[in-house]
Amino acid sequence: MTYRADYLPTEPTRSAVEAMPGRVLLEFGAPWCGHCQGAQAAIRDVIARMPGLTHLKVEDGKGRPLGRAFGVRLWPTLVLLEQGQERARAVRPVTANALHDALAVASPPDH
């Protein structure tokens, strides 16, 4: 999957996300968040470097259970899952290289 520009219309459940096969990148944020908007170029670049990745852009906020289930406190927060297990996390990434380094810990180069 490629970079997803829009937030999902409906928030998935944690069990649905954990049941997804392969690598899933959850991006928690809000459309009006300046930090989220500023990180989009870095996120887009890193997603292009990680083939086979499923990108889910989840709008977070009060009353949103998925973000609470993952302990999200700042936006954007990116959580990399592999086979339903959290492998890496990046909070408020600024550059593509910093984000890639944070997420690459979980992903061998041959992925």
Per-residue tokens: 107: 């992903």
Dump pLDDT digits (tens) for 72-101.
999 999 999 999 999 999 999 989 988 888
What CATH number does residue 52 fall under? 3.40.30.10
- Total domains in the fold of the chain: 1
Dump pLDDT digits (tens) for 39-52.
999 999 999 988 89
Q: Is 34 within the bounds of a domain?
A: yes
Q: Is 61 within the bounds of a domain?
A: yes
DSSP-derived letter for residue 60 is -
User: Whole domain around residue 61: which residue ranges?
Assistant: 1-8+25-88
Phi then psi for residue 40, to 5 deg, are: -60, -40
Average pLDDT, integer, range 29-35: 97
Q: Is 103 within the bounds of a domain?
A: no
**Per-residue pLDDT, 111:** 44
Confidence of residue 108 (pLDDT cuts 50, 70, 90): low
Q: Is 111 within the bounds of a domain?
A: no
Q: Is 64 within the bounds of a domain?
A: yes
DSSP-derived letter for residue 7 is P
Average pLDDT, integer, range 3-9: 94
Please calculate the CA angle 78-91-87 and round it to the nearest 5 degrees. Answer: 50
